[in-house]
Structure 1
Amino acid sequence: MPVRPAPVAPAAGTPGDPPAAAVPPPVGPAPRRRLPLVLAAVLVLMLVAVGLVVVRPGPVGRWLGDAPATPAATGTVESAPVPVLVAADSGAPAPSTDGLRTTLEPLIDDTALGGRVNVAVADALTGEMLFDRGGGEGTVPASVTKLVTAVTVLTARGPGHRIPTRAVAGAQPGEVVLVGGGDPTLAAGPKGFYPGAANLTDLADQVRKALGGVAPTRVVVDSSRYSGPVYEPGWDDDIPTGGYGGAITALMLDGARTNPKAGPGWAERVAEPDLAAGRAFAKLLGVPVGTVRKGTAPPAPTGTTASEPVGGGGPGAELGAVHSPPLIRLVDIMISDSDNIVAEALARQVALARDRPASFAGAASAMAEVVSELGLPVAGLDLADGSGLSRNNLISPALLTELLALAASPDRPELAGIFGGLPVAGWSGTLRDRYGATPGTAAGAGVVRAKTGTLTRVHAIAGVVTTAEGRLLTFAVLTDDVPPDGMEPARAALDRIAAALAGCGCR
C-alpha cells in the first residue's frame, strides 16, 4: 500500500501499517463441509441483503469459493491473475499440537521478536485450539484491534446499517443545522476520498428544495452525537498530528483529511473536522463561511419523524438527509486500509447500538460487552479504543483466533464480512510488500491472509492460513516488547511464523 511519509517520523504507525450470553464456539467435531463455500454463500447473501455489490479480483473470489466471473458485455476483460488463496479442504488433516510446537517454537524464540511473544493457532473449522504459548495473555495489539471492532459492529448494527447525516431547521429563520451522525466517509461533493460516500452537495440540494423561497442565512454545526475527548488518552503524543489519526468528531469530511485526493495511510488532518464540514456546507448553500458556529439542533416538531421533511416548518424540522455506505463496506475499508478514523467511527456505532455514550470509553465498554455475548474469551481483554492506536488496549491471541473461527462459521453469517478486507500476503493491503523476498517467508505468499498491527515496540499479525495439506487455520502472534529500532526484523520474524504454518502439515 503506497503511503506518504510523515513530516516527522511518528512513534506510532508505520508505512506498512498505519497506527494502527451467546452459544460458545463448538468444541466437538463439526460436519464436514467446504469452508470457503460457506463463506462465499453467506457473504453473497449479506451483500444482496444490503443492496451492495463488491467485486474482488479473482484470487480472493476463488478463496471464498466463487465461481469464475463472466465479464459483462460492456466490461473490460482483465488478464488472469496469479493464482493465490487456493481453496481449503475441510477433509484435510489438522496439524497436531506436537507438530506445531516443533515447527513454531524455534521461530517464536527469535530474538527479533523481543522479550514477550504470545501466540495462538486454532482450527478454523472446529475452533479447537491447536497451539498455545501465552495465548490467553492480554497483549498490546496495535491495529489488529480492528478485527474486534469489525466483529462487534457487524453484530451490534448489522452489515446493512447506514449512518445518517441530517440537516434541520434552526431556531432562527434561514438557519440550517448540520447534524453529524458519525459518518467518517462523508464528502463535500461527488469526488471525495471514499468511493460511494454520501456528499454535502446532495444534502444542500435537498435543503434548498425544502426551504422553498426562504434563503439560508447561517449554518450551525451539531456534532453532539459524540461525547468525551476527541483524542484517546492512551495515544502517543504525535498521533493528533502524525497523519495516521486525528480528532474524532461526529461530523467530518473524508476521514478528516485536508485534501480528499491524499492517498490511503498518511494524510494531513484538520484540527476541527466538524467545523471544516460546516464551512464546506455553508459554501454550498451560499452562506458566509465566517458565520458557521457549533451548536445543537432544536428538537423535532411534535408529530413529525426524522423521515418526514417538513420544509420551512418550525425549528427542528428535517430539511434533508444523506447516508453512508453500508457498514459492511466501511468494515472492508477499515481492515484493508487499516483506516484508524473509520475504526473509531465504527466503534462508536457499537456504543450507540447499545445505548452507551459515543465516546472512547463508551465504545470500549460496548465492544467488550458484545465480545462476551458472542461467547469469546474475555480474559485479558481491556479495550480503550477501536483502532488500536492506544497502548492501553490489551487483547489475547486466543480471543483473536476464536473470533476469526466464529466469523467463518455458518452460525454467524453477518460476520463473514471481515474476510473481504483482510490483506493477502504478497498481494494486497499492508501485506502487499511482505512475503517472498525475505528468507523463510515464500510459503506464505498468496496463502496467508491477515491483519497486521504496528506501534513502536509493538508488532502483531492475526488472520487465516491454509496449510500445505489444505486445512484452514486461524492464528495470532502478538509481541509488545520489541526494541524501538527493530521494526523490520520483527516483521520478518512474524512473517516466517505465518509462512511456516502455510508450508507444513505439522503432524
Structure 2
Amino acid sequence: MPRETPQRGGRASLIGALVALVVAIAVAAVSVFAGDGLISALGLSGAQKASWRAGTTPPVPPPVLAAMDSQAPMPSQAGLSAALAPLLSAQALGPHITASVVDVTTGQSIFSSEQDAAMTPASTTKIVTAAAVLATRGPAYRIPTRVVAGAQPGEVVIVGGGDPTLSVFPTPYYPGAARIDDLAKQVKQALGDTAPTKVIYDVSLFSGSGTGPGWDPDATTGGSGAVITPLMTEGGRTKATKYSDRYAQPDVQAAQAFAKALGVPTSAVAAGTAPAGANELGKVESAPLARIVEFMLQDSDNVLADELARQVALAKNQPASFEGASAAMKDVLEGLGLPVTGYGLVDGSGFSRNDRLSPALLTGILAMAARSDRSDLHTIFSGLPVAAYSGTLATRYLKANEGSSAAGLVRAKTGTLTGVNSLSGIVVDADGRTLAFAFMADQTTNGGQAVIALDRVAAALAACGCR
C-alpha cells in the first residue's frame, strides 16, 4: 500500500479572519497535534518545542502568503487555459487527468477539464471527510470514551466512542489526547473500596467490517492504517512513530492497556456490552474536533479519517460502518448544495481504490469553506499542508524545476496511490486573487514524476495573473 508521505520527484464575501488565515501559515492552530517534522520546520528553540508539545500556544510563524484582495482581477478562462493546459498534458500525468479551478470569492468556475468526472481521489478524499464531519459535529466537538459499572461488583465496562487518539504512550503520538491512565484514575476513585476485578470492552458503537472495501491487503499492517474500531489507542500504533506497525486487534489492546492501568490482569478482559442505564464511573474526551481534522489533513492520517467518517454517520443516525459513513457523507454534501455528481466514496480516507469523487466537489468544498456563513469549515484551510513548509508538502516545491517559486504559496491536500496522483487546495495568484483547485490523474506510471508535474501546475497557477 503506497504511503501518503512527503516526497520529491463561496459565493459570499470573505471575512477578515479568513484573510488572516490565508495570509499567514496557521500552524498555530495545530499546536495540539504538531509532529516532529513540523516542529523542526518551524525552527523552534528547545523551550519552544517543549511548549508546543505540551499543547500551549506556540509562537506565531511569519506570513508567507501574499495578502488576499477580493478586488484583485480574476483570471480569464483563456488565460488559465494557456498557462495550465500544456502542463496538464505532461507525459508524467498519463493519458487521463481532470481539473477544476474556482474563484474563491465568487465561486465561479474559471477553468475545467472533466470537472464532474468520477475519479479515484486517493487522499484528497480527506477534504470531503473534513467538510462532512465539521458540518455535522462542529469544530468544538470532543469524542468521549466512557467507563460504566458492569453487571457484577468489580466489573467495569469501557465503552468505545470512536476516539482513535486515546493515549497510552508516555509521550503520546497525538499530543493533547485523552489518556487511558487518567480514565483509570477516575474509575478507581468512583469505585472507592470496591476493587476492580474484570474489564469488559464494548465496541458496539460501530458495525460491519473494520477494513474498507478496495483496501490493499497490507492496509492494516503496512503502517499506513489500522482496523477501524471505536476503541483504540494511538491510532492502533505499537510505537509512537507515524508508520509504526499497528495492532491486529486495536480494541483488545486498548482494553488490556486500560486493565493494566486499573491493576486488573489481562486474563480478566472480555468483550461485551454495557448494561442499560449503568452508572458512569469515568469519562475522558478527545481534543476538539478541529484539532483532529487539522492533523488528519496535515499528516494524511488514514485512521483519523475513517474514524471521523464514522462520526458523520453517527451524527446523521446512520450505521457507523463504511457503508453508513459513505451514505451519511453524501447526505451532508447534498444538504450543503455541493455537486455530488460522480460521488462514490466507500471510505473516509481515500485508502480504497474503489473510491470516486469529482474535482468539482473538491473545489466546491474549498470555495464554500471560505464563505462568511461557514466558519465551521474554516479549519480546512488551517489544516492544509503548505508547499515546502509543512505536512505532506514539506519536502515538495524545493527545487526550481519542481515548482519552488510557489513555496509557501500553495496550500493543498495531496493524494497518492499506485497509478493515482492528485492535488487539491488553494493558492493566491500573482494578482492577489484566491483560487481553489483540484487536479486528478488516475493513469500515472511514475509516481515521483507525476508529483513533480502536479506541483508545476499548481506553481503556474500561483504565478499566473492569466488575463
Pair 1:221 & 2:201 matched:
yes
Alignment map for 1:176-195 (pairs within 5 Å): 176-188=156-168, 191-195=171-175
Task: Quote the offset at 1:31 in angstroms.
Answer: 5.1
Partner of 1:366: 328
Distance 1:40 1:80, change over 3 A: closer
Taking the aligned partners of 2:356 and 2:232, their CA distance within structure 1 comes to 29
Q: Secondary structure at the match of 2:261?
A: helix
Tell me whether 1:493 sits opposite 2:453 in the alignment.
Answer: yes
Contact conserved, 2:102 with 2:436, CA < 8 A, in 1? yes
Q: Given the two structures, how large is their TM-score scaled by the length of structure 2?
A: 0.90
**Aligned partners of 1:348, 1:406: CA distance in 2, in Å?**
23
Matched, 1:274 2:251: yes
Q: Distance in 2 between matches of 1:324 and 1:78?
A: 20
Question: Structure 2 vs 1, CA of residues 14 and 155 (structure 1 numbering), >3 Å: closer, same or farther?
Answer: closer
Structure 2 equivalent of residue 389 of structure 1: 351
Q: CA deviation at 1:256?
A: 0.3
Call closer, same or farther: CA 1:131–1:34 in 2, change over 3 Å.
farther
CA distance in 2, matches of 1:153, 1:506: 36
Residue 106 (structure 2) pairs with residue 106 (structure 1): no
Determine the structure 2 residue equivalent to 1:297.
Answer: 274
Change (3 A) 1:54 1:289: closer
Distance 1:214 1:445, change over 3 A: same
Give the partner amino acid of 2:125. T
Is 2:212 the counterpart of 1:232? yes
Alignment of 1:140-289 (within 5 A): 140-188=120-168, 191-259=171-239, 261-262=240-241, 264=242, 266-289=243-266
Alpha-carbon deviations, 1:183-229, whole Å to 9, x = none?
Answer: 00001266321111101111111111111111000111111111000
AA in 1 matched with 2:231: L
User: In structure 1, what is the Cα distance between the partners aligned to 2:289 and 2:337?
Assistant: 23
Aligned equivalents of 1:366, 1:229: Cα separation in 2: 17
The superposition leaves residues 53-74 of structure 1 with CA deviations (integer Å, 9 ceiling, x where unpaired) of 8799xxx9xxxxxxxxxx99x9
1:432 aligns with 2:394: yes
Change (3 A) 1:323 1:488: same
CA contact (8 A) 2:51 2:58 kept: no
Aligned to 1:329: 291
Q: Which protein shows a greater Rg? A: 1
3-state DSSP class of the match of 1:241?
Answer: coil
1:478 aligns with 440
| RMSD, matched Cα | 2.7
**How far has the Cα of 1:240 moved from its partner?**
1.8
Q: Deviations over 1:221-268 (max 9, x none)?
A: 111111000101211112121110110000000000011x22x3x221
Within the alignment, does 1:505 sit opposite 2:446 as a pair?
no
Confirm whether residue 87 of structure 1 aligns to residue 67 of structure 2: yes
Asked if the contact 1:165–1:178 (Cα under 8 Å) also holds between the matched residues in 2, the reply is: yes
The one of 299, 305, 318 aligned to 2:280: 318
Structure 2 residue identity aligned to 1:273? P
Whether the 8 Å contact between 1:190 and 1:201 is mirrored in structure 2 is no
Percent identity between matched residues is 51
SS in 2 for 1:277: helix
CA–CA distance in 2 between the matches of 1:398 and 1:203?
44
User: What SS does structure 1 have at the residue aligned with 2:408?
Assistant: coil
Flag the 1:448–1:292 CA change in 2: closer, same or farther, 3 A: same
CA 1:218/1:143 → structure 2, altered by over 3 Å: closer, same or farther?
same
Query: Which residue in the other structure is 1:408 paired with?
Result: 370
Distance in 2 between the 1:267 and 1:187 partners?
Answer: 15
How far the C-alpha of 1:91 sits from its partner, in A, is 1.3
The verdict on how the C-alpha distance between 1:209 and 1:480 changes in structure 2, with shifts beyond 3 A counting, is same
Note closer, same or farther for the CA distance 1:321–1:498 as it changes in structure 2 (3 Å cut).
same
Amino acid at match of 1:335: L
Deviation at 1:79, TM superposition (A): 9.8
Cα shift at 1:469: 1.0
Give the conservation status (yes or no) of the 8 Å contact 1:177–1:297.
yes
SS of 2:135's equivalent? helix
CA deviation map 1:367-416 (0-9, x unaligned): 01000111100101111000000111111111111110100111111100
Measure the CA separation in 2 of the matches of 1:79 and 1:212: 43
Structure having the higher helix fraction is 2
Residue-by-residue CA offset, 1:31-70 (whole Å, 9 max, x unaligned): 58768437589x99xx8xxxx98799xxx9xxxxxxxxxx
Q: Take 2:5 and 2:360, find their aligned partners in 1: how far apart are those partners?
A: 27
User: Does the 8 A contact of 1:335 with 1:451 survive in 2?
Assistant: yes
Change (3 A) 1:234 1:53: closer
Amino acid paired to 2:250: P
Structure 2 Cα separation of the partners of residues 211 and 79 of structure 1: 43
**Paired residue total:** 446
**Cα distance in structure 2, aligned partners of 1:440 and 1:254:** 35
Aligned counterparts of 1:32 and 1:273: Cα–Cα separation in 2: 43
Compared with structure 1, are the counterparts of its residues 490 and 32 closer, same or farther at alpha carbon in structure 2 (3 Å cutoff)? closer
Quick one: structure 1 residues 39 and 126, their matched pair in 2 at CA, closer, same or farther if it must change by over 3 Å? farther
Q: Give the TM-score normalised by structure 1.
A: 0.83
Given that 2:15 and 2:372 are in contact with CA atoms closer than 8 Å, whether structure 1 keeps it comes out as no
- State the partner residue of 1:312: none
Task: Specify the alignment match of 1:446 in structure 2.
Answer: 408
CA displacement 1:296-329 (0-9 Å, x = unmatched): 11111xxxxxxxxxxxxxxx21111101111001
SS at match of 2:383: coil
CA distance in 2, matches of 1:371, 1:32: 21
